[in-house]
Amino acid sequence: MGQDESTPVDESVPPETLESRTLDGLAKYIKEGRAKRIVVMTGAGISTSAGIPDFRSPDTGLYANLARLNLPYAEAVFDISFFRENPLPFYTLAHELYPGKYRPTVTHSFIRLLHDKGHLLKLFTQNIDCLEREAGVPGTKIIEAHGSFARQSCIECKASYPDEDMKQHIAAQTIPRCLRESCGGLVKPEIVFFGEQLPAEFFMSRGLPAQADLCIVLGTSLTVQPFASLPSMCSEGTPRLLINQEVVGGLGSRPDDVLLIGDCDTGVRRLADACGWRDELETLWANTVEKAGTDIGRPAGPTKSKDKTLEDEVEKLTREIDETLSLSKWHEEKTRKDYLAEEPIVNGAEAPAESGTSSPEGDATNKHKPATSTPRQDPKLKAEGTSEPNPPLKLHPSSGEDATPEKNGEDKKVDASDLTHVFPHLVGKASL
């Protein structure tokens, strides 16, 4: 260690492990059977070609329709305190993003291929889209650093919630509630929201890169800690391959770093060609077609005139939400439950009506005024201010500032200003 990871390795420095610092050199290393414990680290860049919509892009219907839901700022959709007040925007988005609608990319299938060949030690992903699972990578091989839609639980008592019930709620666009009668808390997919801790399994698995004999980094800007420090935790002399649109995270600074700059699907195909795996890869990927799109009733295919379909669907959805917002069954239920839960706290003068069917303009609406009830400030203030309780995470830390595990120990909670923990490809996009 002690190496400056921001400095590209000098071309004259020979590789320590590989025969040559090239794709062919890396392929030879793999074909010789020296890469038996591969760690793969992925970000949104491996899912963009699947057509996962960018909810903050003004080009999509999602953006406009989320704006209509009166979010105080785009990131609020993933803010746990906001979710407690108003889960509808999140479930609007969840309906659109829920697994089963999108087909894995050939890059996802490449990771599956590594597993099939017995070479995959662990996949660390920042993505919540579950496309690795859809491609057939077993859950035991995946660390979803920012959680995913794979499981869901009550945000109050943490009781798990059945997959099938969740699918039904997502399809029906209704809000799931804890099944424990005494609880009734909101249910949420186990995606890491702002203000929540990363999964314990992420921290328990951070020693794995040091055991790897090959590290492959795919489609991530490596700007979000503590995930971003994973590649630096590989041992010196362990080859590291980066396939990404740009050089990131100090990759290229070690003698055995190989860089493939460009899109992930092209990169993994080149690697597969070099290893003689191309046919197997394409066969695996072809098999993903049938499954995609069957779960929630959306036709398969990555493009499907995406924007128009999306716009129409979410437009319809938000119209329905708008219409039902003030007097939905869910509202009535929440009102009733809130009264039951808060009765000891509510002062006597404001005790609920005996009937328990109070006006939704009363308690319920107070609980659903996101713009005023949220403790958050204007996102612009958040981005520029210095006194914000949740200071912005650096989106582009200097590469020489590689975080140590000790330092990362302080980073267990996701910074509220860092949307990229869920959708890293959103960096630099306009906010609502």
Which are the catalytic amino acids? Answer: 146
Cβ–Cβ under 8 Å, residues 193 and 199: no
Compute the least distance from the CB of residue 153 to Zn ion, in Å.
8
State the Cα–Cα distance between residues 154 and 175, nearest whole angstrom. Answer: 12
Selected binder of Zn ion within 46, 94, 137, 154 (CB under 5 A)? 154
**80 lies in the site for Zn ion, by CB under 5 A:** no
**341 lies in the site for Zn ion, by CB under 5 A:** no
Cβ density class 336-354: b for 16+ within 10 Å, e for less: bebbeeeeeeeeeeeebee
Of residues 18 and 154, the one with the C-beta less far from Zn ion: 154
Compute the least distance from the CB of residue 373 to Zn ion, in Å.
22
Which residues within the stretch 313-332 sit at the binding site for Zn ion (CB under 5 A)? none
Stretch that binds Zn ion, among 91-99, 159-167, 219-227, 331-339 (CB under 5 A): 159-167
Selected binder of Zn ion within 54, 85, 116, 156 (CB under 5 A)? 156
Cβ–Cβ under 8 Å, residues 189 and 147: yes
Compute the least distance from the CB of residue 177 to Zn ion, in Å.
8
Phi, psi of 80 (to 5 degrees): -65, -35
**157 lies in the site for Zn ion, by CB under 5 A:** yes
Q: At what angle do helices 264-275 and 278-286 cross, to 10 degrees?
A: 130
Compute the least distance from the CB of residue 189 to Zn ion, in Å.
15
Selected binder of Zn ion within 41, 121, 178, 214 (CB under 5 A)? 178
Closest Cα partner for 278 from 136, 105, 133, 113? Answer: 113
Compute the least distance from the CB of residue 176 to Zn ion, in Å.
11
Q: Which CB contacts under 8 angstroms, 24+ apart, belong to 398-406?
A: 398/6, 399/5, 399/6, 399/249, 399/250, 399/253, 400/4, 400/5, 400/6, 400/250, 402/5, 402/229, 402/232, 402/250, 403/225, 403/226, 403/228, 403/229, 404/229, 405/206, 405/229, 405/233
Compute the least distance from the CB of residue 178 to Zn ion, in Å.
3
Of residues 116 and 156, the one with the C-beta less far from Zn ion: 156
**165 lies in the site for Zn ion, by CB under 5 A:** no
Cβ–Cβ under 8 Å, residues 94 and 189: yes
Question: What is the size of the binding site for Zn ion (CB under 5 A)?
Answer: 8
Stretch that binds Zn ion, among 27-35, 82-90, 98-106, 151-159 (CB under 5 A): 151-159
Binding mask 184-213 for Zn ion (x = CB under 5 A): -x----------------------------
Point out which residues bind Zn ion (CB under 5 A). Answer: 154, 156-157, 159, 178, 180, 183, 185
